[in-house]
Amino acid sequence: MKAMKRVLTSVMACLMLAAAAGCTPSNTANDKDEQGRTVISVGNWPATEGEYLTRITKQKAEFEEANPDMAIEPDTWTFDLQSFYSKAAGGQLPGLYYANFTEIEKIAAGGYYTDITDGIERAGYKDAFDPRLVDLITYDGEMVTFPTDFYATGMSYNVDLFEKAGLVDENGVALQPKTWDELLEFAKTIKEKTGKNGFIVPTTNNYGGWLSTPLMWSYGVEFMKKNDDGSYTATFDSPEMIAALEWIRDLKWKHHVIGDEALVTPDDSRRQFALGNVGMMMNLPKYKTLLNYEMPLEHIGAMAVPAGPKRHVTLTGGYCATVKEGSTEDQIDAAIKWLEKTGDGGKVTEQSKKDMEASFQNTLNNGDVVGLLGLSVFAGDNEYRKLQLELTEKYRNIDAKQVKLYNDSLNDESIELQPEVPVCAQELYGEIDKMIQQILNDENTDIAAMVKKANSDFQANYLNNLD
Amino acid sequence: MNKRKTFKVWLLLFPVVFLLYLFIWRPSVMGMVWSLFKMKGYTPTEFIGLENYIRVVSNTEFLPILWNTVQYVLWSILIGFPLPIIVAFAINELVHAKNFFRNTIYLPAIMPGITVMLLWYFIYSPTSTGLLNQILAIFGAEPYGWLNDSNWVILYIIIQKTWAGFPASMFFYYTSIQNIPGDLYEAATIDGAGFFRRLWNVAIPRMLPIIVLNLVRQIIAVFQVMQEPMVLTGGGPNNASMSLGYQVYLYGFVQGRVGQALSLGTITFLILIVATLFYFKIEKKTTENL
């Protein structure tokens, strides 16, 4: 019995210690190892064996050899909202973690970052970033994150369906629909000549709202305005919004160029497109998912977003790396050096050239598309950009004419680049999703009344409740 | 019981109590307390009283979503509640192939939840390739929208949920039927009672506490429905299938409104506590009768 008591007491003591440890979050990064090196853990580390793991492990060894006072600690966590808040609250985020631009608002609002302004200056990146990005990554005068990728939303088209529909020029390059009305004509032609749907509109998971913003902006919609006192007013109860939604409604009920579904998940839209059932869709210049659905590479095409009656505009997005809350100056410096090592820094050296080449090779080895250009994270006509363009061309695995329309559009100054709305972006996309679902479900929807209600709900439920 | 024995009992109970405290009581109480605070992520920063609750309840979608959730429960009582009882009795009455039916009916219960939902996603596909629409086509009918129909989407989700969930309840009832003494059935049969008479006068009264217990458990479970609308409809069309549970998820994990997520969670908890108290009362009675 005594032995039993001792066992129980030990078990309880262990449990209490474990609980106490678990209940005491530490947001202060453990910045030095036993050798006195600055340690920074890095997220998005590959969790499975493969070429990527081999390559990044080699990069880690090279990095630690070149910087004997720094050490990289792999962390396989990748950003997802389900675990983000709990990890952040428990101080368990990787020292350097990656996320989409759309998450910057949450990262900043939660304070889950260390201001990297001084670190950026120490590393020689002061004023280096594209001015369009600076506002996006700066909150209350603090630089929240380091942008690593910057892109413009475009359109995907199915090369095979375009050819069958005769929507190509004499050189075999697809014709670019210049306006949304012209896109509608293209969609009708595809439907008529191939029997496939000309277009697809995702409508769930806030995706429809997100990808429809360029269409709505181009009709002249302004979703919100900032007031002098810092508050926001919803402003999309407008004839422009009604017109944009009518255009979407007519795709289904009047012209029959999209499917019957009112609920289209992002995966549905990508799958339908990859299977060759759809001619065109709004998309990011990211095509790995389509290849995962075994879409033949020679069927993938990318083009620019068409213009609307008021503007020619597209939505920008990107990816960024954030140094977690409570990090030291040494860790910020190590994080920026690591970003340079992995090809995300803006400096061009002999070593960084090799690192960037390795990065492109890795993209190819992952079975991804190389050939689509992004926007430059860094301002001006810099060396880094030139190297990026050079390597994109060198490792391109898709016929240039399949991506010409999209790549050329990035140099078209008549196309405005606009980031997503500054506050309540996901909530806005949710409201737009609901409206699109409604009009695709009921052709007799009173769109003006629906927009009025959505505008009023968005104001009352979200904009009036900003902290 | 002397003090030494009491101490030993508490000592034995302590690990369980401690784990309950750590994983159930503490998070539940902290969630309720934090719902009164302004939250920075998962860190409370400032006491704001009922502000989070006011935001949740004054949200123009709150009442429609609450009504949707009630509809989930009502449909599940109508469809999901009687079905396992009927099937359990039917299997019990089978003379041949009893094991075959018992095992095959249980198959949906061992399929991963997400697989079941994806399976039904394709069954309900509104295109002509959807399974149900292919059946409609045999009879010359046009494809129907199924989950796209905002008037009936909750019913369709409940049908899916019932398909996936009823085998487990069915076995619960089946075991209960097996426990009814055979001589009661025999006596009723000798007295000239047919199947329905035996069911009504012998089986149902013996099983009533278990049936009521299961009903309350079902109400509690369905009131928290989240995964099905999330996977099958995303809460649509136009919020027609949005539930309180899914709204808590959206507040907490998509919109980053942790305070509001905790408030809505607490509201759901308070609504369910009535059902839970009832459940405990029934459970006590059931345990006494066993």
Nearest to B65 by CA among B156, B154, B149, B145: B154
pLDDT one-digit tens code per residue, A83-95: 898 888 888 999 9
Residues A131 and A64 in one domain: yes
**How many Cα atoms sit within 13 Å of A201 on the Cβ side?**
33
Give the residue ranges of DSSP H helices in A111-169.
117-122, 131-137, 159-164
Which among A11, A17, A85 is the top mutation candidate for probing chain B, defined by the most B β-carbons within 10 Å of its own β-carbon? A85
**Whole-number mean pLDDT of chain A?**
89
DSSP secondary structure string for all residues of A32-75: B-TTSPEEEEESS---S-SHHHHHHHHHHHHHHHH-TTEEEEE-
Q: Could you tell me which residues come within 8 angstroms of residue B182 by beta carbon, excluding any fewer than 6 positions away?
A: none
Minimal Cα distance from B19: which residue of A?
A: A15
Question: CATH number for the domain including A165?
Answer: 3.40.190.10
CB atoms near residue B55 (< 10 Å): 22
Distance from CA of A267 to the nearest CA of B (A): 12
Check residues A294 and A7 and name the one with the higher pLDDT.
Answer: A294
Distance from CA of A127 to the nearest CA of B (A): 31
What is the rounded distance in angstroms from the CA atom of residue A455 to the CA atom of residue A458?
Answer: 5
Judging by DSSP bridges, how do beta strands A138-139 and A142-143 pair with one another? antiparallel
Judging by DSSP bridges, how do beta strands A313-323 and A416-418 pair with one another? parallel
Least confident of A78-87, A344-353, A400-409, B52-61: A344-353
Asked if residue A41 belongs to a domain, the reply is yes
Residues A274 and A295 in one domain: yes
Inspect the interface and report whether the beta carbons of B15 and A8 lie closer than 8 Å: yes
Check residues A7 and A347 and name the one with the higher pLDDT.
Answer: A347
Judging by DSSP bridges, how do beta strands A154-158 and A300-303 pair with one another? antiparallel
Nearest to A311 by CA among A237, A220, A242, A176: A220
pLDDT at position A22: 41
Any A CB within 8 A of B151 CB: no
Q: pLDDT-based confidence at A355, cuts 50/70/90? A: confident
Tokens 């994990």 found at? B253
Which domain covers residue A37, as residue numbers? 32-144+318-342
Asked if residue A186 belongs to a domain, the reply is yes
- How big is the CA angle at A195 (ends A189 and A200), to the nearest 5 degrees? 75
Residues A193 and A66 in one domain: no
Least confident of A2-6, A324-328, A382-386, B76-80: A2-6
Return phi, psi of residue A123, to 5°: -85, 0
Inspect the interface and report whether the beta carbons of B236 and A106 lie closer than 8 Å: no
Inspect the interface and report whether the beta carbons of B15 and A11 lie closer than 8 Å: yes
User: Which residue of A89, A262, A440 is in closest CB contact with B41?
Assistant: A89
Looking at the predicted structure, is the pLDDT value of residue A112 above 50? Answer: yes
Residues A87 and A114 in one domain: yes
Check residues A182 and B288 and name the one with the higher pLDDT.
Answer: A182
Asked if residue A322 belongs to a domain, the reply is yes
Residues A222 and A177 in one domain: yes
Looking at the predicted structure, is the pLDDT value of residue A17 above 50? Answer: no
Q: Is A252 exposed, middle or buried (0-12, 13-18, 19+ CB in 10 A)?
A: buried
Looking at the predicted structure, is the pLDDT value of residue A1 above 50? Answer: no
Q: Report the percentage of chain B scoring pLDDT > 90.
A: 44
Which among B144, B227, B238 is the top mutation candidate for probing chain A, defined by the most A β-carbons within 10 Å of its own β-carbon? B238
pLDDT at position B289: 59
Tokens 């217990």 found at? B213
What is the rounded distance in angstroms from the CA atom of residue B230 to the CA atom of residue B218?
Answer: 20
Minimal Cα distance from B239: which residue of A?
A: A434
Residues A110 and A208 in one domain: no
Long-range contacts of A11-14 (CB under 8 A, 24+ apart): A11/B15, A12/B14, A12/B15, A12/B18
Nearest to B51 by CA among B259, B258, B270: B259
Give the distance from CA A331 to its chain's centroid.
26
Distance from CA of A397 to the nearest CA of B (A): 34
Q: pLDDT-based confidence at B201, cuts 50/70/90? A: confident
Stretch B113-118: mean pLDDT: 84
Return phi, psi of residue B60, to 5°: -65, -15
Looking at the predicted structure, is the pLDDT value of residue A24 above 90? Answer: no
SS3 assignment, position A272: helix
Q: pLDDT-based confidence at B99, cuts 50/70/90? A: confident
DSSP state of A174: B
Looking at the predicted structure, is the pLDDT value of residue B277 above 90? Answer: no
Inspect the interface and report whether the beta carbons of A112 and B41 lie closer than 8 Å: yes
Residues A170 and A79 in one domain: no
Looking at the predicted structure, is the pLDDT value of residue B62 above 90? Answer: yes
What sign has the CA pseudo-torsion A168, A174, A176, A180?
A: positive
Inspect the interface and report whether the beta carbons of A19 and B22 lie closer than 8 Å: yes
Looking at the predicted structure, is the pLDDT value of residue A333 above 90? Answer: yes
SS3 assignment, position B146: helix
Any A CB within 8 A of B60 CB: yes
Inspect the interface and report whether the beta carbons of B239 and A111 lie closer than 8 Å: no
What is the rounded distance in angstroms from the CA atom of residue A444 to the CA atom of residue A465?
Answer: 33
Looking at the predicted structure, is the pLDDT value of residue A15 above 70? Answer: no
Residues in chain A whose Cβ is within 8 Å of chain B: 5, 8, 11-12, 15-16, 19, 81-82, 85-86, 88-89, 105-106, 109-112, 203-206, 259-263, 265, 426-427, 430, 433-435, 437-438, 440-441, 456-457, 460-461, 465, 467
Question: Is there a contact between B72 and B225 (Cβ–Cβ < 8 Å)?
Answer: yes
Looking at the predicted structure, is the pLDDT value of residue A222 above 80? Answer: yes
Inspect the interface and report whether the beta carbons of A265 and B14 lie closer than 8 Å: no
Residues A92 and A198 in one domain: no
B50-289 carries CATH number 3.40.109.10: no
User: Which residue of A206, A426, A460 is in closest CB contact with B60?
Assistant: A460
Cα–Cα distance list, B158 to A307, B74, B79, B155 (Å)? 44, 10, 8, 5
What is the rounded distance in angstroms from the CA atom of residue A63 to the CA atom of residue A71?
Answer: 8
Q: pLDDT-based confidence at B7, cuts 50/70/90? A: confident
Q: What ipTM did this prediction achieve? A: 0.81
pLDDT at position A169: 93
Tokens 């061992």 found at? B110
pLDDT one-digit tens code per residue, B224-248: 999 999 989 999 899 999 999 999 9
Q: Report the percentage of chain A scoring pLDDT > 70.
A: 94
Return phi, psi of residue A375, to 5°: -85, 160
Q: pLDDT-based confidence at A6, cuts 50/70/90? A: low
Residues A307 and A323 in one domain: no
Q: pLDDT-based confidence at A232, cuts 50/70/90? A: very high
Residues A137 and A226 in one domain: no
pLDDT at position A417: 92
pLDDT at position A34: 84
The count of domains in chain A is 2
Residues A98 and A234 in one domain: no
pLDDT one-digit tens code per residue, A195-206: 999 999 999 999
Inspect the interface and report whether the beta carbons of B41 and A81 lie closer than 8 Å: no
Looking at the predicted structure, is the pLDDT value of residue B88 above 60? Answer: yes
Any A CB within 8 A of B165 CB: no
DSSP E strands: which ranges in A339-447? 416-418
Structure tokens at B115: 């697989």
Least confident of A284-288, A430-434, B47-51: A284-288
End-to-end CA distance of chain A: 58
Q: Could you tell me which residues come within 8 angstroms of residue A451 by beta carbon, excluding any fewer than 6 positions away?
A: A236, A237, A238, A241, A242, A245, A435
Looking at the predicted structure, is the pLDDT value of residue B256 above 70? Answer: yes
Inspect the interface and report whether the beta carbons of A461 and B61 lie closer than 8 Å: yes
Looking at the predicted structure, is the pLDDT value of residue A5 above 80? Answer: no
Distance from CA of A46 to the nearest CA of B (A): 24
pLDDT at position A14: 44
What is the rounded distance in angstroms from the CA atom of residue B243 to the CA atom of residue B223?
Answer: 8
DSSP secondary structure string for all residues of B23-78: IIIHHHHHHHHHTTEEEETTEEEEE-TTHHHHHHHHSTTHHHHHHHHHHHHHHIII
Inspect the interface and report whether the beta carbons of A467 and B38 lie closer than 8 Å: yes
Q: pLDDT-based confidence at A23, cuts 50/70/90? A: very low
Stretch A336-352: mean pLDDT: 86
Residues A284 and A328 in one domain: no
Asked if residue A388 belongs to a domain, the reply is no
Inspect the interface and report whether the beta carbons of A12 and B18 lie closer than 8 Å: yes
User: Which of residues 99 through 128 in chain B touch A, CB cutoff 8 A?
Assistant: 125-127
